[in-house]
Amino acid sequence: MKRKGTVTINDVARHVGLTNITVSRAFKQPDKVKPATRERIMEAARELGYVPNAFASQLRSSKSRLIGAVIASIDNPFYSEAIKAISREAKARGYDILLMDTDGDSDIEAAAIQTLLSYQVAGIILSPVSDALDYHPAYIETLRDAQLPLVMLDRTLPVEDFSRVVLDNRKAGWLIGNAMLKRKLDQALVLTGPANSYITQQRLQGLRDAYQQADTAVTLDPREGLYNFEPAYDAVMHYLSESGHPSAIVGLNQLMTLGALSALHDIGISYRDATVLGVDQLPYCSIFDIRIPTTRFDASHAGHQAIHLLLSRIANPDAPPQRVVIDCTME
């Protein structure tokens, strides 16, 4: 019968009449314990309901098997796919992932970094809440002092001493611009992240590049959708009320494109009557026969690259920081 409350290794040792050292070795180094003894210990553990405390074991060991992942918004399908890839690869290499969703809040982000440091993680994969060039959170110096391996994913901080996996954002905008040119569009409402976001600036510049290369004028009306569904929805509704029917709407990420589609639906406008384009594929839309021209970044590949860079950094802390760029295509 299982005991009530927390069962410790001492309880198991008393139950089988062995020392704590022998019982601990049966869990940590089973090959060094006689099979018959090991089976007695495991049977006692099952009977008592003992579960080894992996976290405590890590704190006692010299090598952590925990990796922290700090993500600005797990609602974003891109990050969800990247985290799947990171988690699978980490498990294959004997690591566990501790995921922290900051929900775009810089205070939560700072607290998450401190929590991961207190857990003595082996390294961190970070997608910051902001990629503005003036965003320089205090925890950067803390991470430097701790000499903790760090890889930034997608969004990056304005520092050069950490590895990073970034997207080819200028190309994504350029592909959207060429898709607009093929449709002979010369005006668009563009749903953006914060105006000071480097990713937003690059995607807008790529879009303009396409028109400049074609020697064609274009009028863009950027409205902040803040990379989220609700702000993008509100921005489109406000635009429709003040400016009427746009000839095209461009969402600079998945959630903003979905917000635009929802706003058009609620006001009674078919997306076919207002050309909608976006950066990043829209999940499940094809099931409902909704075909939206979008660019595509391989989020799983980005996740694999991030975890590989981090594991390399863990293995060789003195290696120079690396930068990997993820390409995109037009769907």
Report the pLDDT averaged over residues 9-25.
87
Report the pLDDT averaged over residues 119-136.
95
Torsion angle, alpha carbons of 117, 140, 150, 81, to 10: 90
CB within 8 Å of 193: residues ≥ 6 apart:
199, 200, 224, 225, 226, 227, 252, 253
Report the pLDDT averaged over residues 71-79.
91
pLDDT in tens, 56-72: 555 555 567 899 999 99
Q: How confident is the model at residue 79 (pLDDT cuts 50, 70, 90)?
A: very high
- Enumerate the β-bridge partners of residue 251: 191, 278
9-52 topology per CATH: 434 Repressor (Amino-terminal Domain) (1.10.260)
pLDDT in tens, 185-195: 999 999 999 99
- Greater confidence (158 vs 4) lies with 158
| The pLDDT of residue 3 is above 50 | no
What is the reported pLDDT for 1?
Answer: 42
Q: Give how far Cα 171 sits from Cα of 82, 207, 287, Å.
A: 20, 8, 28
Which pair of structure tokens corresponds to residue 187?
Answer: 């005006």
Q: How confident is the model at residue 127 (pLDDT cuts 50, 70, 90)?
A: very high
Report the pLDDT averaged over residues 35-43.
89
What is the reported pLDDT for 258?
Answer: 95
What is the reported pLDDT for 177?
Answer: 98
pLDDT in tens, 184-243: 999 999 999 999 999 999 999 999 999 999 999 999 999 999 999 999 999 999 999 998
169-296 topology per CATH: Rossmann fold (3.40.50)
- Greater confidence (20 vs 303) lies with 303
Could you give the 3-state DSSP secondary structure of residue 18?
coil
- Greater confidence (5 vs 32) lies with 32
Question: Most confidently modeled of 47-56, 78-87, 281-290?
Answer: 78-87
Judging by DSSP bridges, how do beta strands 219-224 and 187-192 pair with one another? parallel
| The pLDDT of residue 42 is above 70 | yes
Could you give the 3-state DSSP secondary structure of residue 105?
coil
Contact 122, 95 (CB under 8 A): yes
| The pLDDT of residue 54 is above 80 | no
64-161+299-330 topology per CATH: Rossmann fold (3.40.50)
Q: What percentage of the chain carries pLDDT values higher than 70? A: 95
Contact 18, 37 (CB under 8 A): yes
What is the reported pLDDT for 57?
Answer: 57
Domain 9-52 matches domain 64-161+299-330 at the CATH topology level: no
When mean pLDDT is compared across 3-12, 21-30, 315-324, the lowest value belongs to 3-12
- Enumerate the β-bridge partners of residue 295: 330
Q: Burial level of 216, CB count in 10 A (0-12/13-18/19+)?
A: middle
Domain ranges for the chain: 9-52, 64-161+299-330, 169-296
- What is the chain's mean pLDDT, rounded? 91
What is the reported pLDDT for 264?
Answer: 95
- Greater confidence (265 vs 8) lies with 265
Report the pLDDT averaged over residues 6-23.
86
Q: How confident is the model at residue 87 (pLDDT cuts 50, 70, 90)?
A: very high
Torsions phi, psi for 223 (to 5 deg): -130, 135
Contact 251, 222 (CB under 8 A): no
- Greater confidence (182 vs 24) lies with 182
Could you give the 3-state DSSP secondary structure of residue 25?
helix
When mean pLDDT is compared across 34-48, 77-91, 121-135, the lowest value belongs to 34-48
